[in-house]
Amino acid sequence: MNKNLIFTLFVGLLSISSLYAIPSFDAKLLDFHYRIYPDRFPVEASYQNTIAVPRNYTLGLQLAIKGYTSQTYSVTLENVKLNNVTPTTFNFSARQLVQITVEGNTQGSINVPGGSYPESWIPFFIRNAPFNLLEAVASANAENNITVDANTTGGVLIQIKIESDCPVGTYTGNVVVSINSTDKVQLPISFKVHKAVVSREIFLDCVHWISVDPVDLRTNGGQVAWWSEEHWKLLERAGRYLYEDGNNMMYTPLVNTANPLIQAKYVNGVLQFDYNRFDRWINLFKTIGFKSFAGSHLRNMASQLTILDVASNNKTSVESLGINIGCFQETFLKDLNAHLIALGIHDAFVMHLYDEPTATVFDEYKHYKQLLTRNMPGIKCIDATITSVGQLYSDMLDYQVYTIYGIILNKDGTVKTRLQDGRPTWLYNANSPFPPYPNRHLDQPLTENRLWPLLALKYNASGYLFWAVNTYRGIPDEYVTSLGPGPNGKPLHPPGDCWFYYRTSNGLIPSLRMMSFREGMIDVSLLKQLAKINPNQIKTQLDKILPGNVTPGDEVIGYKTDFDTYNNNRKEVLELLDQILPN
């Protein structure tokens, strides 16, 4: 055979080999609610369904990557077309998922590494601890580059921003994961944009309590001075994530810390209050989008309370100045009330009195309620009540926050009465409920976070409260431990119960659990749009996710956790809205 011909064939084969080169790594698109483990590459097929999405929405999918060498990968969205015709571009980002450790499963009221739990709970866990999980969501870099260690499954959250004026129709394209121009994987993606526009105005009311201590706002936060400009930037970053994740009420500290938002002063024998920081706080979070503010608990007002004695320029205690704590509370509440009126936010402010009061403190709670009513007329109170005392405290509470057990047990009693009287009813969870009931812990399906806003809607709650978004209580590294400590620093809470955000050198970053919760808020928003025209349809759609009552004592709990149920339900709602919304 002619040598030139052989050489030509060889070059041709090399070209074909380069064109169809087998990539040196694996990559798969996965449902947003999938759980990626660093020690397991997903066996499921790459996610290829056409995803139904509303407008004013961020579409998210997870991406798993595994290679045999440590590599930096580029992730891009390419060749997107509307209805296979019109080339289109979207705001696209790829955010690395960061590993965290779950060293113990949910065990009940006290949780320790490797602790035991009832065997009947095992089917409700995604995996037996200890295990590592990709949960924290890093900020995107401009290049959308992701680094993955050798022989480890790395994860990426890809996000596509669907604007409010995005043309409806089906979009197709490819998510391209590459090391270089020839070593790459192309993953097809398809999503259908529907007419509906997500409206925050019809979200549930929502608050996740935030710790404002700098040590809880960034890595090495102890190096940040209280109320410095850096501190305010960290608070703004946290507030923007909270708002993005569905919150519209900001938990607000007042006077009762060593570094208070409102500094009490003693000037020539008279109590005065410096509201400069408070005013900045209100303005900051109003600018972000928050609609209301919840003052921290009145019961705790004496805790860590210090007063600046202007004459000596020293901080001192109430007692050392000969001031009765009751007199201090009366004076402060009256002054705060006047300041709220002057700021024009009196109607947007509520007060916590006493968290989860028991029956034995009824008289004490009544005292705080009378103190509030007497000194801050028109300011409403909001508190969480444990199941056993829901009826006892209902008459005193303007906003009553029930457990899931409490709201069901009282649905034909105090809950019904409150609805008839126009008094808000909210829902909350914390370390309980335990399996077989849903919660938001790290060892339970990610979809259970999405479920809670829908539970609130099912049981006529207009709001949702959670007690901690970044309460680390001295934990130096929340990436290597998930069992939150109690106030004494010892392990107490189930995995992930004390925080949903994770610290970095730049501030907090969110988690997949918080983003899943936001998906539930969006589900509620779309169902409320549908209910304006077809009120009965809301029950039909809710019954597909919550086919039974989550009733205390039942062995079979009526809720779904599989991805397809949620995806199909949203698709159905969006298709129904397509029929009734104008073009």
CATH number at residue 296: 3.20.20
Q: What is the pLDDT of residue 557?
A: 60
Tell me the CA distances in angstroms from 189 to 20, 46, 186, 328, one per residue in order.
Answer: 21, 10, 10, 62
Answer yes or no: do 213 and 181 share one domain: no
The values of phi and psi at residue 393, to 5°, are: -100, -5
Answer yes or no: do 240 and 166 share one domain: no
Rounded to whole angstroms, how far apart are CA atoms 263 and 260? Answer: 6
Q: Which of 511, 533, 565 is the last residue of a domain?
A: 511
Answer yes or no: do 109 and 76 share one domain: yes
Q: Which of 457, 489, 511 is the last residue of a domain?
A: 511
**568, part of any domain:** no
Answer yes or no: do 169 and 260 share one domain: no
**184, part of any domain:** yes
Q: Which of 165, 193, 221 is the last residue of a domain?
A: 193
In this structure, what DSSP letter does residue 37 have? B
Answer yes or no: do 160 and 93 share one domain: yes
Answer yes or no: do 132 and 228 share one domain: no
Strand order across the beta sheet in which 91-102 lies: 25-30, 57-67, 154-162, 91-102, 131-137
Q: What is the pLDDT along the chain (583 residues), one digit of tens a residue?
A: 555 554 444 444 444 444 557 999 999 999 999 999 999 999 988 888 999 999 999 999 999 999 999 999 999 999 999 999 999 999 999 999 999 999 999 999 999 999 999 999 999 999 999 999 999 999 999 899 999 999 999 999 999 999 999 999 999 999 999 999 999 999 999 999 999 999 999 999 999 999 999 999 999 999 999 999 999 999 999 999 999 999 999 999 999 888 999 999 999 999 999 999 999 999 999 999 999 999 999 999 988 899 999 999 999 988 888 899 999 999 999 999 999 999 999 999 999 999 999 999 999 999 999 999 999 999 999 999 998 998 999 999 999 999 999 998 888 899 999 999 999 999 999 999 999 999 999 999 999 999 999 999 999 999 999 999 999 999 999 999 999 999 888 889 999 999 999 999 999 999 999 999 999 999 999 999 999 989 999 999 999 999 876 555 544 468 999 999 999 999 999 999 999 999 8
**13, part of any domain:** no
Report pTM: 0.94
* Residue 26: closest CA among 85, 90, 69, 86: 69
* Cβ burial, residue 2 (10 Å; 0-12/13-18/19+): exposed
Count helices and strands (H / E) in the chain. 12, 27
The values of phi and psi at residue 465, to 5°, are: -130, 140
**85, part of any domain:** yes
Q: What is the pLDDT of residue 488?
A: 87
DSSP, collapsed to helix, strand or coil, labels residue 556 as: coil
Answer yes or no: do 56 and 157 share one domain: yes
DSSP, collapsed to helix, strand or coil, labels residue 97 as: strand
Q: Beta-carbon neighbour count of residue 368 at 10 Å?
A: 23
The values of phi and psi at residue 334, to 5°, are: -65, -45
**581, part of any domain:** no
Q: What is the pLDDT of residue 88?
A: 95
Q: What is the pLDDT of residue 259?
A: 94
For residue 91, what is the domain's CATH number?
2.60.40.10
Structural tokens at position 205: 């009311």
**536, part of any domain:** no
Answer yes or no: do 167 and 210 share one domain: no
Q: What is the pLDDT of residue 331?
A: 96
Tell me the CA distances in angstroms from 376 to 286, 292, 369, 384, 405, one per residue in order.
Answer: 22, 16, 10, 20, 32
Rounded to whole angstroms, how far apart are CA atoms 260 and 254? Answer: 6
**4, part of any domain:** no
Answer yes or no: do 339 and 247 share one domain: yes
- Give the chain's length: 583
Answer yes or no: do 155 and 221 share one domain: no
Answer yes or no: do 177 and 302 share one domain: no
Q: Beta-carbon neighbour count of residue 324 at 10 Å?
A: 10
Answer yes or no: do 315 and 239 share one domain: yes
- How many separate domains does the chain show? 2
Residue span of the structural domain in which 26 resides: 22-193
| Strand stretches in 346-486, DSSP E | 349-351, 380-385, 399-402, 425-428, 463-466, 483-485
* Cβ burial, residue 10 (10 Å; 0-12/13-18/19+): exposed
**541, part of any domain:** no
Report residue 62 CA to chain centroid gap. 18
